[in-house]
């Protein structure tokens, strides 16, 4: 006979295994309203890519496309995936005070703002700016691409976006601003690339 605590844990295991499956069927067949976007994986833009399930036919079964589609559905499109990703990352960050994503290169700035270490190193001028050879190569490549696409009747637009460190310099930890405060100012990659 099972004890009450064993029944509770067994029920928890069953719910943990079956609830995502039931929610996935509901999300893909029931088309839930926008208030359930957090269950339907519609909140992390760029992280989730919508994939259509291949048709259920004998051909798709025999060539393996149906199995691949079902595998993708089970591993990437199950209901609540984004919520679990957020919860997992948040728990790790709260417990260990660092992120395990992007090779553990995310650090906390002031006002709980998160920054990529590489962006802070560039902003704080700990990394050298782009070399003369690299910027020349990049400029020539963009010029060639622009001309080639123009010949094909298309347009090429090169956009340099500001980094988070540039937008929120007040939230950068002080240890990344030491060189800037000492007055060592070098040209930024932006200042080097724009004239070319």
Q: Which pLDDT tens digits describe the chain residue by residue (196 residues)?
A: 778 888 888 888 887 777 777 777 777 677 777 777 766 666 665 555 666 777 888 888 888 888 888 787 767 666 677 777 778 877 887 787 777 776 778 888 888 788 888 888 888 888 888 888 898 998 899 999 999 999 999 988 888 888 888 888 899 888 888 887 777 678 888 888 888 8
pTM: 0.51
CB of 54 closer than 8 Å to CB of 65: yes
Return the closest-CA partner of residue 88 out of 35, 33, 31, 44: 44
State the residue for tokens 């704080």: 124
Q: How many domains does the chain contain in total?
A: 2
Q: Looking at the DSSP assignment, which residues form a beta bridge with residue 107? A: 115
The string of DSSP letters for 7-19 reads HHHHHHHHHHHHH
- The answer as to whether 5 is a domain residue is no
- 103 with 185, same domain: the answer is yes
Report how far residue 86's alpha carbon sits from residue 82's, in angstroms, rounded to the nearest whole number: 6
Range of the domain at 144: 98-193
- The answer as to whether 92 is a domain residue is no
- 75 with 111, same domain: the answer is no
- 53 with 108, same domain: the answer is no
- 128 with 183, same domain: the answer is yes
- The answer as to whether 129 is a domain residue is yes
Report how far residue 22's alpha carbon sits from residue 58's, in angstroms, rounded to the nearest whole number: 26
């Amino acid at each position: 006979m099972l004890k009450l605590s064993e029944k509770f844990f067994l029920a928890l295991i069953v719910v943990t295994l079956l609830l995502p499956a039931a929610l996935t069927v509901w999300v893909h067949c029931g088309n839930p309203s926008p208030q359930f976007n957090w269950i339907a994986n519609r909140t992390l833009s760029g992280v989730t890519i919508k994939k259509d399930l291949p048709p259920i036919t004998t051909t798709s079964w025999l060539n393996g496309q149906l199995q691949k589609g079902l595998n993708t559905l089970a591993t990437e499109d199950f209901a609540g995936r984004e919520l679990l990703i957020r919860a997992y990352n948040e728990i790790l960050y709260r417990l260990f005070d660092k992120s395990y994503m992007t090779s553990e290169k995310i650090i906390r700035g002031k006002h709980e703002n998160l920054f990529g270490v590489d962006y802070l190193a560039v902003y704080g001028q700990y990394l050298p700016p782009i070399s003369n050879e690299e910027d020349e190569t990049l400029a020539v490549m963009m010029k060639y691409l622009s001309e080639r696409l123009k010949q094909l009747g298309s347009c090429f637009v090169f956009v340099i976006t500001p980094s988070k460190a540039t937008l929120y310099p007040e939230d950068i930890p002080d240890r990344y601003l030491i060189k800037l405060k000492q007055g060592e100012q070098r040209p930024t990659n932006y200042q080097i690339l724009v004239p070319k």
